[in-house]
């Protein structure tokens, strides 16, 4: 009987980010990920042609398999610890199964429901604005988010990270 993996907890991920294989970020960015991506492109015969969004079901399946293989082959890099968080395919599948089917973001008139959409869906996509984890100068932080919030098309805002707080650089550890 096969052992069924459980979804990773935050604590599991923390432990792996402290004890996983250590590697410099430049090696991760410039060698490991690009080389593995090229390998997956070849292995799964991934080619888009002129189509930005694939509509061919076979290609979509191969893209998913390539993504899963890439994730389980290279893992996830923690830039703070310079370590790789390794995951198994069973753990990824358990995480996908345990993930909520929809998420309610915001409140009252500003609430939107983030849920999966199928190809060519008539359902309006959620539009997220913001710097999505990028470093943002403290002197424009508030005005930048206000600008995103004022755009009628933007449903949610994904935060950036202030480079400084009161002029002091933000650091980890």
Residue 4: per-residue pLDDT = 61
pLDDT tens-digit profile of 78-108? 999 999 999 999 999 999 999 999 999 999 9
Nearest C-alpha neighbor of 69 from the set 41, 105, 106: 41
Residue 144: per-residue pLDDT = 94
Residue 173: per-residue pLDDT = 61
Residue 170: per-residue pLDDT = 77
pLDDT tens-digit profile of 65-79? 999 999 999 999 999
* CA dist., res. 45 & res. 84, Å (int): 27
Residue 59: per-residue pLDDT = 92
Size of the chain in residues:
173
pTM for the model stands at 0.76
Domains of the chain, by residue range, sit at 10-98, 103-166
Rounded (10°) CA dihedral 108, 109, 112, 113: 50
Residue 149: per-residue pLDDT = 92
Positions in the chain short of pLDDT 50: none
């Amino acid at each position: 009987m096969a052992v069924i993996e459980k979804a990773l907890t935050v604590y599991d991920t923390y432990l792996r980010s402290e004890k996983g294989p250590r590697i410099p970020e430049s090696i991760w960015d410039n060698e490991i990920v690009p080389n593995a991506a090229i390998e997956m492109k070849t292995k799964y015969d991934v080619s888009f042609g002129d189509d930005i969004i694939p509509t061919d079901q076979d290609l979509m399946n191969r893209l998913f398999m390539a993504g899963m293989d890439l994730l389980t082959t290279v893992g996830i890099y923690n830039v703070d610890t310079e370590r790789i968080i390794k995951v198994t395919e069973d753990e990824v599948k358990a995480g996908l199964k345990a993930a909520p089917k929809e998420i309610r973001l915001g409140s009252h008139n500003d609430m939107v429901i983030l849920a999966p959409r199928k190809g060519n869906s008539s359902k309006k996509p959620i539009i997220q604005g913001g710097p999505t984890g990028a470093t943002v100068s403290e002197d424009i932080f508030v005005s930048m988010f206000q600008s995103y919030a004022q755009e009628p098309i933007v449903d949610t805002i994904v935060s950036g990270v202030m480079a400084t707080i009161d002029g002091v650089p933000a650091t980890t550890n």
